[in-house]
Amino acid sequence: MELSRIYEAIQGDLGRVKDNLSSISQINFHWLSEQLDYVVRSRGKGIRPALTLLVGQLFNYNDNLKYLLSMAAAVELMHTATLVHDDAIDKSVARRGKPTIFKMWGEETAILLGDYLFAKAGESVADTQNPRVIKLFSQTLATISSGELNQLRTAFKLEQTRQQYFQKIAGKTASLFSLATESGAILSEAPEKSVKALKEYGHNLGIAFQIVDDILDFTSTEEKLGKPVGSDLAQGTLTLPAMRLLECYPEDNPIRKLFQNQDQDRQKNIAQAIELVRGSAIARECYEVAAEYCVRASHSLDELPEGASHRPLAGLADYIMYREN
């Protein structure tokens, strides 16, 4: 399913969220305004805010639209803030085909701009006036930061279990997806059973999304990704395809060499790992794992009240499997 079709019913409101995000750069401090404008312009596909709105559409959408729009903006702002900080941490120079804030203005600015974006996200979630959602929002930020710290701690470590991998991607990615869906359900006054089901849906969708991200880091192109392929390996992040590659080639493995000595033959080892994954069944195997999580996500939708049209949400689970960037 095309993203434009999935977004069909919320297209106008998603546009309003984007307009609200753009408006944060209209401040009386030219330097900061320029950076904010830069960062909100280079936005992605808007999956997270779309999730909040699409979930809202299943229940009492119109009466709570104001709050759902605030929440959608909050989710996207938090996502943007974490990306700005991630790029400073990873010293990444490109994202979405453009130089990062880190590359453009340096690390100090990236830290403070990220903080500013967290603050704007906090203001936006405060506008929902819903204490439960506001608390969830901060808990999610704690989970994300903790997940990122966990990733940092295990960088360039070869001995990692599947369980550790899933724990990390649950923290750094799935938690924000489930915040987007759970808060959408709460704010549209969904029954508790549905809130729970949609939280689960978001979690599983997020896990699948991150696995696909991790595959694309090997199989896609710099042009499509908007950043170099092999970025995860360059940062020492052991993703699912990388784990599989280590299992398939226990001896003389380029990832083993890279992680054991980051300086020697760095580019050669990364290129070789990419080539090995592309020439093997690893990507397909990992897609199968992602697909399992999409199936789980879809199963959660069966828990929703009859009559609620969850086709866009099912479509999204389909889309994230076949996306190219």
295 binds its own copies (CB under 8 A): no
Looking at beta carbons only, is 6 or 144 nearer to its own copies?
Answer: 144
127 binds its own copies (CB under 8 A): yes
Looking at beta carbons only, is 120 or 227 nearer to its own copies?
Answer: 120
**Residue 271, C-beta contacts closer than 8 angstroms, at least 6 positions apart:** 230
221 binds its own copies (CB under 8 A): no
79 binds its own copies (CB under 8 A): no
Contacts (CB under 8 A) with its own copies, residues 80-99: 82, 85, 88-89
CA distance linking residue 304 with residue 306, whole number of Å: 6
Q: Which of 3, 16, 123, 280 binds its own copies (CB under 8 A)?
A: 123
Minimum distance, C-beta of residue 196 to its own copies, in the bound complex (Å)? 21
Angle made by CA atoms 40, 45, 47, in degrees to the nearest 5: 110
Minimum distance, C-beta of residue 21 to its own copies, in the bound complex (Å)? 15
Q: What is the 3-state secondary structure (H, E, C) of the chain?
A: CCHHHHCHHHHHHHHHHHHHHHHHHCCCCHHHHHHHHHHHHCCCCCHHHHHHHHHHCCCCCHHHHHHHHHHHHHHHHHHHHHHHHHHHHHCCCEECCEECHHHHHCHHHHHHHHHHHHHHHHHHHHCCCCHHHHHHHHHHHHHHHHHHHHHHHCCCCCCCCHHHHHHHHHHHHHHHHHHHHHHHHHHCCCCHHHHHHHHHHHHHHHHHHHHHHHHHHHHCCHHHHCCCCCHHHHCCCCCHHHHHHHHHCCCCCHHHHHHHCCCCCHHHHHHHHHHHHHCCCHHHHHHHHHHHHHHHHHHHHCCCCCCCCCHHHHHHHHHHHHCCC
Minimum distance, C-beta of residue 112 to its own copies, in the bound complex (Å)? 5
Looking at beta carbons only, is 24 or 54 nearer to its own copies?
Answer: 24
Looking at beta carbons only, is 81 or 286 nearer to its own copies?
Answer: 81
Distances (CA, A) of 27 to 32, 35, 177: 8, 11, 30
Looking at beta carbons only, is 70 or 210 nearer to its own copies?
Answer: 70
Of 53-61, 131-139, 204-212, 253-261: span binding its own copies (CB under 8 A): 131-139
Looking at beta carbons only, is 33 or 280 nearer to its own copies?
Answer: 33
Looking at beta carbons only, is 4 or 28 nearer to its own copies?
Answer: 28
Contacts (CB under 8 A) with its own copies, residues 101-120: 107-109, 111-116, 118-120
CA distance linking residue 316 with residue 80, whole number of Å: 21
37 binds its own copies (CB under 8 A): no
x/- track of binding to its own copies for residues 273-292 (CB under 8 A):
--------------------
Looking at beta carbons only, is 31 or 322 nearer to its own copies?
Answer: 31
Q: Which of 32, 283, 308, 314 binds its own copies (CB under 8 A)?
A: 32
Contacts (CB under 8 A) with its own copies, residues 41-70: none
Looking at beta carbons only, is 151 or 239 nearer to its own copies?
Answer: 151
Q: Which of 22, 25, 150, 325 binds its own copies (CB under 8 A)?
A: 150
Quick one: 193 exposed, middle or buried, by C-beta within 10 A (0-12, 13-18, 19+)?
exposed
List residues binding its own copies (CB under 8 A): 27, 29, 31-32, 82, 85, 88-89, 107-109, 111-116, 118-123, 125-127, 129, 131, 134-135, 137-142, 144-146, 148-150, 152-153
